[in-house]
Structure 1
């Protein structure tokens, strides 16, 4: 909340500075019409940005694994968004546009620091709720398992399930095909389910199992055929030795 209030105040000040002009009588007369037009157009850029701050911070914490770093990341992303405000097309998905800026800034910071960072699990704000002790333990286990997922799978899962994005929007943020985004979310869910059920790996699809069975059958047939040929050769050698023993003149 402290970060949200600080950024909201900063955005208001930015908006006031950007619109601070001398009001002429003509402008004063046109003010009601401009207000009505603005209301018809929907929330302003700054209003949308302020409303999105809590979700941005959730995603930032999941990326940086540190609340202070997450606050810095959100503030940097907001600065980038304000600088690139002209590139946003009104009427399009503001959330997806902003999350893309947040992720790009995060990756840019990683490259700049030449450090290795992993996306972490969704923070407590995204998953926690009043619960019994058993539920609390289950949530901690879920967060721990989320951290074990591959980065691309975890990112896709968080964007779709926590941030509420569509597969198309998540694919745009991750810069991948929609089918790839769907596959990552599907595999992440299967792996989490397997881990929480006590299995080491997610169950494979029937097609994978069938292919493996066919491969195993071919290998078994190959081994069996090789063994049979070796046995035939040994039996042939034994018969030849017996014949030489009975008929030395051979």
Structure 2
């Protein structure tokens, strides 16, 4: 009896949620959906195709959405499932294109175009789940609870993915991995007091030597 009552109430709630309401939610979610698609596909054209496919699927399945629940998370699940299906069918990957990266920049990095280019490249090297979680938190401003709901994982898992993504980017940008020197690492070394003292000492030593006649 209780189950029948709950089912009746659900039908009643959905009946009050018009097609116009659904379309309004869909339009509002599109900007975030496109960022999520870029994070998954790493290609602008593929992202547009993925969003279009996800919207088509959402419109076909609009009756399965329960008003009052997280529409963004519901849409992302559709987007992700479509992406997984496409990957399984095509079995191909592309290079990263336009995933927003300014939100990941360390203080002052926006002033250095080389660092931003390097950051964008490193972002594409992150595992897809880490990259997606990082984009959702830092670019879209979603909470960890919302990310967990969208990615169908525990809140702790969502936090771990973001933490690991940030940690990995920091390590890559500072050249701590395998001793690789990056623009950020080079700038840190060249501006260190020890490096400055060595450079000054070399100049003074050179100035003190007599030039041959």
TM interval, short-chain normalised: 0.5 to 0.7
Question: Whole-Å Cα distance in 1 between the matches of residues 60 and 135 of structure 2?
Answer: 27
Q: Which runs of 5+ in 2 are unaligned?
A: 1-15, 179-213
The residue that corresponds to 2:59 in the other structure is 82
CA shift, 1:73, in A, is: 0.9
Spell out, residue by residue over 1:185-233, the C-alpha distance to the aligned partner (whole angstroms, 9 max, x if none).
11111111122222117xxxxxxxxxxxxxxxxxxxxxxxxxxxxxxxx
Question: With CA pairs under 8 Å and 6+ residues apart, which has the higher RCO, 1 or 2?
Answer: 2
What is the TM-score with the length of structure 1 in the denominator? Answer: 0.55
The residue that corresponds to 1:172 in the other structure is 149
CA contact (8 A) 1:57 1:70 kept: yes
CA shift, 1:63, in A, is: 2.1
Question: Whole-Å Cα distance in 1 between the matches of residues 149 and 27 of structure 2?
Answer: 22
Q: Does 2:160 align with 1:183?
A: yes
Question: Whole-Å Cα distance in 2 between the matches of residues 161 and 89 of structure 1?
Answer: 27
Determine which structure has more spread, i.e. the larger CA radius of gyration. 1
CA shift, 1:68, in A, is: 2.1
Question: Whole-Å Cα distance in 1 between the matches of residues 53 and 89 of structure 2?
Answer: 14
The residue that corresponds to 2:176 in the other structure is 199
CA shift, 1:71, in A, is: 1.4
CA shift, 1:118, in A, is: 7.0
What is the TM-score with the length of structure 2 in the denominator? Answer: 0.64
The residue that corresponds to 1:70 in the other structure is 47
Question: Whole-Å Cα distance in 2 between the matches of residues 178 and 117 of structure 1?
Answer: 28
Q: Does 2:73 align with 1:96?
A: yes
The residue that corresponds to 2:82 in the other structure is 105
